[in-house]
Structure 1
Amino acid sequence: MNHPVEIGISRSQSQIPTFSSQSGKESQLFKFSESDFRDETARFVAVEQLSFSFGDKLSFQNWLSSSANPAIRRISRNTLKRTIHKLVATQKKELIKEFASLDNKVSLCSDIWSDHWQSCSYMGITCHWIDNAWNIKKRLLAYRCFNDSYTAQNISHMMFLILEEYGLTSKIFSISFDNASVNTCSIDELIRICQPSIGGKFFHIRCTCHIFNLCVQDGLRSLETYIKPIRTAIHYLWTHPQVMKQWDKFCKLNGMWAKRFARDFPTRWNSTYKLLLSTFEYKELLCGFFGQVVQSYNIYLYANQWNICTTICEILKVFSDATDQLSGVYYPTCHLVVTHLCNVACIFCEHLNSNEPPLIECIISMKTKWEKYFLNIPEIFLCTIVLDPRLKLDEMV
């Protein structure tokens, strides 16, 4: 605590405790700023994905006035909306300024998807780059409603407008897309617009994780006989609250904790693997529950169904580990791709001579899809392998 006279207040006044400023240079008296409070509330609402009416809620006002500062006034929906737009515009200007002074190239990752009713499409563009101080950075450049028809020309046109907006047209090193045909067709037009380095040889990079998911989905179709009953049983548990209560009681009677199993969605990476993995410990209990308690006419579970699923999980674990590592955004991943491609190729070879015909069919389907994209490994991945001194090619071979 500083002496009151030294900081210009009378001896009869109480001093508010000091705090360290963000710069860390010195302590200072706290001074409430309504504009700062409004800005920070807007950031909080944006980060936590709350509604614009959050600042206008009576419970929020009561909490602030009783616990924080009685002088704080409510923030209306429109005020909060304007504040968020102002903060976005400010950060956008700062980002454009940083890109203008950037000496390096940037890489983009883009995706387009539709809502549940297929009424609207949306485009998201994320930018990755290394700044002049050699720090890895990532920013979301755009999240736009895609009102035009989903064609290669419209995709390239919208991307051009966004790149021009940020002054990045001449600074693109590569763009990562999924494997939609329209995305691939738009590359030629984007190469003409952006004039990338090395004639665009490294310009288009297909999303490796997306390809791995395609391989898995192709392979699992031949194993539906084994996986579908388990998937159906778990879905039945999740969608019937009364059955879930019966499951809780059944688990307690058998001295087990009532587990909530993972859900399986074809479009969610590695969801089938996580579903099967979560059921192994409970396979006898699930068979007993659906055989004795539920007795549904269309759900049949047997312990031997999990036997081949054990082998399936050994295969899917390789894809899951690869997806988890290659999905990182704050560390380089390009040099890791070849290592995981080799791991996938090894697991194919290991199980191609299986005694289970459905498993062989699964491996062949995965391998066919894998070879479609990686029989000739893209040069960008090979270059990063050579440049990474930590990797030893002879050990991978």
Structure 2
Amino acid sequence: MVVTAHYIDGAWNLQSCILRFIYIPAPHSSDRLCATLVKCLMDWNIDTKLSTITLDNCSTNDAVMDKIKEKLHLSTLLRDGSLLHMHCCTHILNLIVKDGLEVVKDGIEKIRDSVAYWTATPKIKEKFEETAKQLRISCTKTLSLDCSTRWNSTYKMLDIAILYEDVFSRLRLRDTRYTCIPTSSQWKFARDVCERLKLFNKITEIISGTKYPTANMFFPEICKIKLAISYWINSSNLLIKEMDNKMLQKFDKYWSVTHDIMGIASVLDPRYKMELLEYYYEKLYEQDSFEQVKRIQ
């Protein structure tokens, strides 16, 4: 277990330091994890100075947080500890995208196979680049095969492969062994998937900054995702629509437990105050927006 503290120092600079790096033997039960974390907090005398604790999203960590609240003096914490558990936003985005990609994985398989084929050896790569030059297509970006455990690598693979759609089509005539050629409808499907991944990739980069505070940025970016998925869900492509539905279900699961702390952080940003909250809540909640804004106040 790694326990990292993020705080503002006396000069108002964002700082972070590792408080403890400790081996915890199996089984990693909630009781054992809770005891280790609480001991660390008390050893550093910060158990009454916490704003939030951020963990990955899993049932064990949820149980850990319930037990931690039983051991801390909640009256010393923000809103009596109701905001203590902050779910990791980047991990939430990761779960949302993975659920969506699971639905469409077969739809992009031929593009993945094509990329794998044309990156297999240096000689094959050279043939690909020669064909691109013949078509006067700049070969500034190299084909990249994705990794099954990293969704952003799938985004990168599709984003680059789409640039060379004409090259793949031309190579079909030059290499009879190249049989996994994507159809025009599969390329269109890939562009639809890539459009969705592009937004998630952009927002993940914004909220993953380590050199500046990002909590105040979470709220508007996460709201953009909610609005985008709600728009995408009207797609005429049934598989894309199923992908969007899966992502929306996962989003809604975590939205209810994260939007309060993100909304508060946004209000405390002097650039936004209540205006940004009111703007997005009106779009998200419509008739219930006033009650939601009032609850954050």
Residues 214 and 369 in structure 1, CA contact (< 8 A), matched pair in contact too? yes
TM-score by length of 1: 0.62
After superposition, give the CA deviation of every residue in 1:48-83 in whole Å (9 maximum; x if it has no partner): xxxxxxxxxxxxxxxxxxxxxxxxxxxxxxxxxxxx
* Structure 2 counterpart of 1:308, one-letter code: F
After superposition, give the CA deviation of every residue in 1:187-211 in whole Å (9 maximum; x if it has no partner): 1222233435033211111111111
In 2, Cα distance between the equivalents of 1:369 and 1:347? 14
Closer, same or farther: CA 168–289 of 1 in aligned 2, 3 Å: farther
Aligned to 1:260, which of 142, 149, 166?
A: 142
Number of aligned positions between the proteins: 274
After superposition, give the CA deviation of every residue in 1:132-154 in whole Å (9 maximum; x if it has no partner): 22221112333333333222122
Question: Within 5 Å, which residues of 2 pair with 1:61-100?
Answer: none
Higher mean alpha-carbon deviation, 234-243 vs 183-192, is at: 234-243
Aligned to 1:279, which of 161, 166, 173?
A: 161
Shift of 1:177: 0.8
Match of 1:368 in 2: 249
After superposition, give the CA deviation of every residue in 1:286-310 in whole Å (9 maximum; x if it has no partner): 233366326255x332343221222
Residues 104 and 243 in structure 2, CA contact (< 8 A), matched pair in contact too? yes
In 2, Cα distance between the equivalents of 1:163 and 1:157? 10
Higher mean alpha-carbon deviation, 272-281 vs 143-152, is at: 143-152
The sequence identity of aligned pairs, in percent, is: 27
Cα root mean square deviation, aligned: 2.5
Closer, same or farther: CA 130–364 of 1 in aligned 2, 3 Å: same
In 2, Cα distance between the equivalents of 1:205 and 1:174? 6
Rg larger in structure: 1
- SS of the residue aligned with 2:53? strand
In 1, Cα distance between the equivalents of 2:117 and 2:58? 33
Residues 87 and 258 in structure 2, CA contact (< 8 A), matched pair in contact too? no
Match of 1:207 in 2: 88
- SS of the residue aligned with 2:23? strand
In 1, Cα distance between the equivalents of 2:18 and 2:225? 31
* Structure 2 counterpart of 1:127, one-letter code: A
After superposition, give the CA deviation of every residue in 1:101-131 in whole Å (9 maximum; x if it has no partner): xxxxxxxxxxxxxxxxxxxxxx222210011
TM-score by length of 2: 0.81
Aligned to 1:163, which of 34, 41, 48?
A: 41
* Structure 1 counterpart of 2:5, one-letter code: C
Closer, same or farther: CA 395–128 of 1 in aligned 2, 3 Å: same
Residues 128 and 167 in structure 2, CA contact (< 8 A), matched pair in contact too? no
Aligned to 1:231, which of 112, 115, 120?
A: 112
In 1, Cα distance between the equivalents of 2:252 and 2:63? 21
The answer as to 2:174 corresponding to 1:305 is: no
Structure 2 portions without partners, runs of 5+: 284-297
Residues 262 and 274 in structure 1, CA contact (< 8 A), matched pair in contact too? yes
In 2, Cα distance between the equivalents of 1:323 and 1:138? 20
Question: Within 5 Å, which residues of 2 pair with 1:118-129?
Answer: 123-129=1-7
In 2, Cα distance between the equivalents of 1:290 and 1:157? 61
After superposition, give the CA deviation of every residue in 1:193-244 in whole Å (9 maximum; x if it has no partner): 3435033211111111111111111112222232122123323444545533
Is the helix fraction higher in 1 or 2? 2
Residues 126 and 142 in structure 1, CA contact (< 8 A), matched pair in contact too? yes
Closer, same or farther: CA 258–128 of 1 in aligned 2, 3 Å: closer
